Amino acid sequence: MKAPVRVAVTGAAGQIAYSLIFRVAHGDMLGPDQPVILQLLEIPPAMGALNGVVMELKDCAYPLVAGIVASDDPNVAFKDVDYAFLVGARPRGPGMERSDLLEANAKIFSVQGKALNDHASKDVKVLIVGNPANTNALITLKNAPNLNPKNITSMMRLDHNRAMSQIAEKAGSHTTKVEKVVVWGNHSATQYPDISYATVDGKAVKSVVDNDWYVDTFIPTVQQRGAAIIKARGASSAASAACSAVDHMRDWALGSNGKWVSMGVFAAGNPYGIDENIMYSFPITCENGQWKIVEGLEISEFSRDMMAKTEAELVGEREAIASLL
Ligand code: NAI
């Protein structure tokens, strides 16, 4: 057995965490020979519920769980962590404007960025899930100047997986046969799910589906999948979000084996002319614990427009919280 690694999860009494923590404890993220110490963060009113989660974790008698810390103090929950899932966020309340939401979350993520900066392992891998995920990740990054900006990412994998599943279903194939899908930009309705390079069963997806389906059905379905799930389930996607968070961290830590994934990353130095001071989702491959943007892709005029729209939204979000950066 290896030495245990420390994994932090915030929003640990929430819906996503209720699936995510148990998947991590089971070994789905780092494999069956990697013990984990779970470090769970909540806000004071949710500590009772978090205690219930801890009781259930103990009742699972997981062989890989080497310790559990539950706290309402980010300085405790992030102490020496190797992996951090920042899931907890302020939801939009009645009468709240978008700018109020951005600001309320900016406050949470500046505190947590500082705590990561001061207490986490210097190589910590951070995934921001709580919405608005990309801008929350930017705030975290700006408040953690001692961490490598490459170690802070935001979750676009759910959008990526949704796109793969729509293609597989349309082509009568399976997600394991779908490759080179990209979701560019923001985790929001402006995101751009792009099939320009995608293949299914080794054939170009563009030669298998017609362009009307792509533009009028596929793109809006992927963009609005979150809202469709809320409508159907009466609650936002949780198990699928947890699944994607595990996928993101596993591929980042253990490698994507040449497979393309979508990750929200700090855009500094990106080869596609995107504003360099936002967190933007690109096509990525992972190897040896590092991610890398896939370079040299030809960008069509349609793609350029779609990429610019989602970029403009992220620039707008950054401007709304500029005073906190
Ligand atoms: P939830 O409301 O069930 O749980 C959130 C938890 O976070 C609550 O228990 C709350 O007490 C806690 N929390 C709030 N502020 C906190 C803080 N400062 N520190 C620690 N914990 C805090 O929500 P759910 O369904 O688990 O979703 C969590 C977030 O993930 C939401 O912002 C949601 O919009 C986002 N999300 C992101 C996705 C993505 O693809 N990036 C996909 C699905 C959801």
* pLDDT tens per residue across span 98-143: 788 888 999 999 999 999 999 999 999 999 999 999 999 999 999 9
Structure-block tokens of residue 78 = 């992030």
Residues of the chain with CATH 3.90.110.10: 156-321
Name the architecture of domain 156-321.
Answer: Alpha-Beta Complex (3.90)
* pLDDT tens sequence across 239-258: 999 999 999 999 999 999 99
Summarize the confidence of residues 58-77 as an average pLDDT.
Answer: 98
Known active-site residue 248: no
Cis peptide before 44 (omega within 30 of 0): no
Higher pLDDT, 320 or 30: 30
**What phi and psi values does residue 35 have, to the nearest 5 degrees?**
-65, 155
Dihedral sign (CA 241, 247, 253, 255): negative
* pLDDT tens sequence across 295-304: 999 999 999 9
- For residue 189, the surrounding DSSP H or E stretch is none
Q: What is residue 51's predicted lDDT score, i.e. its pLDDT?
A: 98
Catalytic residue among 26, 160, 187, 248: 187
Please say whether the beta carbons of 261 and 285 come within 8 A: yes
pLDDT above 80 for 176: yes
State the chain's maximal CA–CA distance in angstroms: 55
Dist. CA 298–CA 301, nearest whole Å: 10
Q: What is residue 94's predicted lDDT score, i.e. its pLDDT?
A: 76
Structure-block tokens of residue 52 = 């219930």
pLDDT above 90 for 93: no
pLDDT above 80 for 24: yes
What torsion do the CA atoms of 82, 113, 274, 228 make, to the nearest 10 degrees?
80
Structure-block tokens of residue 53 = 């989660």
224 annotated as ligand-binding: no
Pairing outcome for strands 192-194 and 152-154: unpaired
The closest-lying atom of ligand 1 relative to the alpha carbon of residue 238 is 25
Class of the CATH domain delimited by 5-154: alpha beta
pLDDT above 90 for 18: yes
Tell me which residues have their CB closer than 6 angstroms to ligand 1: 10-11, 13-17, 41-43, 46, 87-91, 108, 129-131, 133, 155, 158, 187, 236-238, 241
Write out the E strands in the chain.
Answer: 5-10, 36-41, 65-71, 83-86, 125-128, 152-154, 178-179, 182-184, 192-194, 199-200, 203-204, 261-266, 279-287, 290-293
Q: What is residue 98's predicted lDDT score, i.e. its pLDDT?
A: 75
Summarize the confidence of residues 172-183 as an average pLDDT.
Answer: 98
105 annotated as ligand-binding: yes
171 annotated as ligand-binding: no
Residues of the chain with CATH 3.40.50.720: 5-154
Summarize the confidence of residues 42-54 as an average pLDDT.
Answer: 98
Mean pLDDT of the chain: 96
ipTM rounded to 2 decimals = 0.99
User: How many Cα atoms occupy the beta-carbon half-sphere of 145 within 13 Å?
Assistant: 1
Percent of the chain with pLDDT over 70: 100
